[in-house]
Amino acid sequence: MKIENDCRNFLKSGRYAVYLAQAAGAQCAGFATLCESHALYAGGSFGIIQEFYVEPQFRSAGLGRRLLDALWRMADAWLETAGNVHAAAA
């Protein structure tokens, strides 16, 4: 399937991350994706949340916050690896 092949290729790049949240029974409860981009004017790298979704039955239970926290940690690690300043807390 094209989507699966694209996802594999994105992940191989090392600058794309997918976080899956699983519920009991390995059901996907939500997911979020993060990719790295660069800005010439700002002079550095930054992350873009490309996709973010939580299934309706799992909303308002803190799952979205946990996905955002995981994305934040990944973005911070990418910046550290690139030698850039850490992202500011929201």
pLDDT of res. 26: 67
What strands lie across the sheet with 44-54, from one edge to the other?
A: 16-22, 28-39, 44-54
Predicted pLDDT of residue 89: 45
- Specify whether the CB–CB gap between 71 and 32 falls below 8 A: yes
| Stated pTM of the model | 0.68
Task: Give residue limits of the domains in the chain.
Answer: 2-82
Q: For residue range 72-87, what is the model confidence (pLDDT) as tens digits?
A: 888 777 767 755 544 5
Per-residue model confidence (pLDDT) at position 90: 45
Other Cβ atoms within 10 Å of 30 Cβ, number = 19
Tokens 């997918």 found at: 18
pLDDT recorded at residue 3: 67
| Candidates 3.30.460.10, 3.40.630.30, 3.90.1150.10, 3.40.50.720; CATH matching 2-82 | 3.40.630.30
Question: pLDDT tens-digit profile of 6-54?
Answer: 777 777 877 778 888 888 876 888 889 888 788 888 777 777 888 899 9
Nearest-CA neighbor of 71 among 47, 41, 44?
Answer: 47
